[in-house]
Amino acid sequence: MIEVKKLVKRFGLKVILRGLDFHVEPGEFVALLGPNGAGKTTFLRILSSLSRPSMGEVQVAGYKLPHEAAQVRARLGVVSHLPLLYPDLTAEENLRFYARMYGIEDQEQRLTEVLEMVGLEHRRKDLVGAFSRGMQQRLAIGRAVLHDPEVMLFDEPYTGLDQDASEMLDEVLRSVAAKGRTVVMTSHDLARAEDLATRFDILSRGVIATSATRDDLKTTNLLAFYKQSLES
Amino acid sequence: MKRSSPSLLKATLAIVQKDLAAEFRSRELISAMLVFSLLVILIFNFALELDIKVRQSVTAGVLWTTFAFAGTLGLNRSMSVEKDRGCIDGLLLAPVDRSAIYFGKAISNLAFMLIVEAIVLPVYSMLYNVNLFRLDLLGVILLGSIGYTAVGTLLSAMAVQTRTRDVLLPILLFPIAVPVLLASVKASNGLLAGAEFAEVLTPLNILIVYDIVFIAVAFMVFDFVVEE
């Protein structure tokens, strides 16, 4: 579903990604872990066609980036630590706007389905500016799944959420993954990543340093694996 | 779930409607532009001891100075709203031609500028005792506003990526908008002085050519401007 070969990304003289190789099978939930500045966000921005690779090959859902970006974007849902929502519009108006941008035909039915999925049906007429951070993040996930994407990218979705909001987000993320979608998530919350993901890739110094599946971690835990990967 | 590829027109309309709905609810942008414009007109009114002849000769200059600065406020705010909460990424992630984002934002900015102008013109007419409600003059104001927002929207998309966006936009915009502002002032002045239509044809032609050229340039380069 996602195929990345020898990806290099430079900002001026600074090299962020140094020949990164990455591969995700359909239906996999990959947690992309790494210290601050490792290049996780840059990598997700390239996968989501928001940034151009300096060198290398990137293919998402069978389409090459950056040349077939529009096809990739139609099959992609992105959630970042910012909600990508308009505070002066209601939850319903925000989703209706994005539904129009994605060319969804039966908008009202889809809006109701998505609002029910993220548990905000009763707040559909409320302004997003009046929502708590947790509610905004749930609505952001609703926005990202509105067009039923095959691939979902989550960039630090737990940033700024309290314990209750994080647990609620866990449920929404599980339901998103349960539909067979391919998910790539960056996070610093190792416990949550361990709970949700089926594979764990450690990004360090611009390359995937190590990778392990859930089965590989039976004799150890993610924290130990993470520390060991960074030390080596 | 049925989906179709949204056309350039549909995506543009969606952005315009979204911007208008958000602005009519918050009234942040129009209020700022309007208060600024009215203050400028009032200050000029008190600062200049004006007889009727002088009033007519300074009207075009005062009006376009007001529109240009108020327009910059609006352009800055319009793009900042998209950038501050990451909404620009939401727009860029949509599977639409990115020119739709430019056209949507440019039409919204033009609408905000025209709303402010529609309020400023009668106030100016009352304060300065000059009749501004002439079809030809309104046409010049429309052409000038189109040119200003066409280039302003493109440059605000560039400036918003930087930390110094509030300062950078006027620095980038005013030198490039000089032809449209000069042509607008020249044409407005001529019309207010009762000149023949042929006499204002040159600035009018400049305005039309400027509008076409900058809309075409923005259509071609917007994709590169917003990409990292």
Dihedrals φ, ψ of B132, to 5°? -105, -5
Identify whether B1 is part of a domain. Answer: no
Given this model, what pLDDT does residue A55 score?
93
Given this model, what pLDDT does residue B49 score?
67
Identify whether B81 is part of a domain. Answer: yes
Identify whether B3 is part of a domain. Answer: no
Identify whether B2 is part of a domain. Answer: no
- The tens digit of pLDDT for each residue in B33-51 reads 999 999 999 988 887 766 7
Provide block-wise average pLDDT over 10 residues at a time, chain A (232 residues): 92 90 91 89 92 92 88 91 91 96 92 91 93 89 90 88 80 80 89 88 89 83 83 75
Within 8 A of B27 by CB-CB distance, chain A residues are none
Contact (CB<8Å) B95/A103: yes
Contact (CB<8Å) A88/B94: no
Beta-carbon count within 10 A of B164 CB:
9
pLDDT at B3 exceeding the cut of 80: no
Instruction: Quickly list DSSP for A131-160.
Output: S-HHHHHHHHHHHHHTT--SEEEEESTTTT
Using DSSP's 3-state secondary structure scheme, residue A20 falls into: strand
Q: Which two tokens stand for residue B48?
A: 């200049």
Mean of pLDDT values over B165-193: 91
- When scoring B85, B93, B226 by the number of chain A Cβ atoms within 10 A, the one with the most, hence best to mutate, is B93
Domain that holds residue B148: 9-226
Task: Please confirm whether the linkage preceding A66 is cis (ω < 30° from 0).
Answer: yes
Distance of CA A75 to the CA centre of its chain: 13
Into how many domains does chain B fold? Answer: 1
CA–CA distance, B29 with B116 (Å, rounded to integer)? 10
Do A27 and A182 touch, CB atoms closer than 8 A? yes
- The tens digit of pLDDT for each residue in B90-139 reads 999 999 999 999 999 999 999 999 999 999 999 999 888 888 888 999 99
Identify whether B151 is part of a domain. Answer: yes
Within 8 A of A148 by CB-CB distance, chain B residues are 1
CA distance A144 to chain B (A): 9
CA–CA distance, A119 with A138 (Å, rounded to integer)? 8
Whether chain A has a CB inside 8 Å of the CB on B224: the answer is no
